[in-house]
């Protein structure tokens, strides 16, 4: 019988001899007696003698590291966090790399908003006026202008052409620009194709205003108490000048002054209307009383309607802000409070509208004749309002 040798399997790994593990054997843990266990527990120590060995720190995931990153505003706060990702945040939460050069955090303009004004329109000793009626009145009154920006279509308009030539001869710089450039200069205001750089508005002193109207028999002045809306103030000036009032008194604080918006809404009335600015409006009312004026305040809660009051002699009409109305302190300085009766459901009127109605009643009573005069015959275009 033939001897058969065992065949080796293909691909079977070679057997390796058994190699024992490291000869270093762990020392057996010392056994503690039952009497020593309570002492260890009370002292907070572990019964394991190897517990004093420091444990290796676990590596945090990237997500957890980012979640635990702190926010620092300076380089000194980065100490102790070397090797970790530090997030620096400023402004509105955007990083330094996302900020536009030249703007601090939170100061970036909104999309579509005008950029910072150029030096031409932001001189510290200048102001802007714009609008066709405003500029036309300024040119006709020969007001001192430093620079004029005008579009090509308006420069050769018959109403402006000769006046612009006179202004240029007087030394005013005339720049012909497009509408986009005017939008940038006026911060997207309704400029109507023309704007000018002028000196800040020159307010009158109250004494100077009283001297200018000293020769009049029945002067009418306005006093604005806390009006902060430039559109309301501009409309009041326009209406007051058109009806024949001689001036306006405005407070220096907590009220709007003469701005480019006020001049635009006034539509040229500022060139023929005096505005005095005072530190304390109530003291100014006392000074006007001493000068012989009667002070009438407009208040919605007044019991006496305006048509029942006889407005004779020098008159000061005090108008309050829309919404809050005439302040209680200003009411105490008035000789009489009057109201405009309202028959509809609307509880109040716009400040400029109420002022116009009151002024009309004052000048209606002062009319030289009670007979209604016929209106002059003009075409529609000549009598239409310039809104």
d(CA 176, CA 179): 10
Is the Cβ–Cβ distance between 121 and 128 less than 8 Å?
Answer: yes
Read off the pLDDT of each residue in 92-118 and give the average, rounded to a whole number. Answer: 36
206-365 has CATH 3.40.50.1240 classification = no
The three-class DSSP label of residue 194 is strand
Closest CA to 29 of 51, 54, 44, 55: 51
Q: What mean pLDDT is predicted for residues 49-74?
A: 50
- By three-state DSSP, how is residue 167 classified? helix
Q: Rounded to an integer, what distance in angstroms lies between the CA atom of residue 358 and that of residue 316?
A: 11
Paired with 336 in beta bridges are: 296
CA–CA gap between residue 293 and residue 264 (Å, rounded): 31
- Is the model's pLDDT at 107 over the cut of 50? no
- Each domain of the chain, given as residue ranges in start order, spans 119-198, 206-365
Tell me if domain 119-198 and domain 206-365 are identical in fold.
Answer: no
DSSP track, 327-384 = -HHHHHT-SEEEB----SS-----HHHHHHHHHHHHHHHT-S-SSPPPPP---HHHHS
Averaged pLDDT, 77-100:
39
Task: Give the whole-angstrom CA distance, residue 208 versus residue 132.
Answer: 30
Q: Is the dihedral of CA 56, 62, 68, 74 positive or negative?
A: positive
- The encoded tokens of residue 323 equal 């919404």
Length of the chain: 387
Report residue 74's pLDDT band, with 50, 70 and 90 as the boundaries: very low
Q: How confident is the model at residue 346 (pLDDT cuts 50, 70, 90)?
A: confident
Dmax (CA) of the chain: 159
Residues 308-338: tens digit of each pLDDT: 999 988 999 999 987 788 899 999 999 999 9
Using CA atoms, how far apart are residues 169 and 184, in angstroms rounded to an integer? 27
| Cβ(247)–Cβ(275) below 8 Å | yes
Domain 119-198 is classified in which CATH homologous superfamily? Answer: Ribosomal protein L30/S12 (3.30.1330.30)
The pLDDT assigned to 131 comes to: 80
Q: What are the E-state strand segments in 157-243?
A: 173-176, 194-198, 220-225
Q: Which of 222, 233, 215 is nearest to 322 (CA)?
A: 233
Please compute, for residue 16, the number of CA atoms within 13 A of its CA located in the half-sphere on the CB side. 4
Share of the chain above pLDDT 70, in %: 62
> Is pLDDT of 377 > 50?
no
Tell me the per-residue pLDDT of 203-262, one tens digit each, with 9 for 90 and over.
Answer: 999 999 999 998 888 999 999 998 999 999 999 999 999 999 999 999 988 888 888 888
| Average pLDDT of the residues in 351-355 | 93
Q: Is the pLDDT of residue 55 over 80?
A: no
CA-wise closest residue to 149 among 115, 105, 180, 170: 180
Is residue 361 a contact partner of residue 340, using CB atoms and an 8 Å limit?
no
Q: What is the pLDDT of residues 262-315, one digit of tens each?
A: 888 888 888 889 999 999 999 999 999 999 999 999 998 888 999 999 998 899
pLDDT in tens, 151-191: 887 778 887 787 788 888 877 888 888 888 888 887 787 78
> Could you give the CA distance from residue 382 to residue 387 in angstroms, rounded to a whole number?
13
Of 92-96, 126-130, 338-342, 370-374, the range with the lowest mean pLDDT is: 92-96
The pTM is what? 0.56
């Amino acid at each position: 019988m033939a001897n058969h040798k065992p065949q080796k399997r293909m691909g079977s790994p070679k057997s390796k001899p058994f190699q024992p593990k490291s000869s270093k054997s762990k020392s057996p843990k010392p056994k503690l007696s039952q009497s020593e266990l309570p002492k260890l527990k009370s002292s907070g120590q572990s019964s394991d003698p190897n517990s004093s060995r420091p444990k290796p720190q676990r590596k945090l995931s990237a997500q957890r590291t980012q979640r635990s990153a702190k926010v620092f505003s300076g380089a000194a706060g980065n100490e102790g966090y070397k090797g970790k990702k530090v997030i620096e945040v400023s402004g509105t939460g955007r990083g330094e790399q996302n900020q536009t050069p030249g703007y601090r955090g939170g100061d970036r303009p909104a999309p579509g908003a005008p950029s910072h004004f150029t030096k031409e329109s932001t001189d510290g000793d200048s102001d802007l006026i714009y609008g066709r009626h405003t500029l036309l009145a300024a040119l006709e009154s020969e007001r001192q202008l430093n620079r004029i920006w005008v579009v090509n279509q308006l420069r050769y308009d018959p109403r402006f052409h000769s006046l612009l030539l006179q202004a240029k001869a007087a030394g005013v710089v005339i720049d012909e620009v497009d509408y986009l450039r005017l939008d940038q200069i006026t911060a997207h205001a309704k400029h109507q194709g023309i704007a000018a750089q002028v000196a800040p508005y020159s307010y009158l002193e109250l004494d100077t205003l009283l001297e200018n109207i000293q020769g009049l028999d029945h002067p009418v002045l306005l006093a604005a108490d806390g009006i902060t809306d430039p559109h309301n103030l501009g409309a009041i000036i326009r209406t007051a000048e058109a009806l024949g009032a001689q001036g306006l008194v405005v407070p220096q604080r907590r009220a709007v002054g003469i701005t480019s918006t006020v001049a635009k809404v006034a539509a040229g009335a500022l060139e023929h209307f005096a505005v005095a600015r005072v530190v304390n409006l109530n003291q100014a009312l006392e000074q006007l009383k001493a000068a012989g004026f009667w002070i009438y305040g407009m208040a919605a809660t007044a019991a006496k309607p305006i048509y029942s009051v006889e407005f004779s002699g020098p008159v000061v009409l005090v108008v309050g802000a829309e919404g809050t109305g005439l302040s209680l302190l200003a009411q105490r300085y008035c000789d009489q409070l009057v109201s405009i009766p309202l028959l509809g459901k609307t509880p109040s009127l716009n400040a400029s509208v109420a002022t116009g109605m009151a002024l009309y009643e004052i000048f209606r009573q002062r009319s030289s004749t009670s007979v209604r005069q016929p209106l002059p015959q003009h075409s529609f275009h000549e009598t239409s309002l310039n809104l």
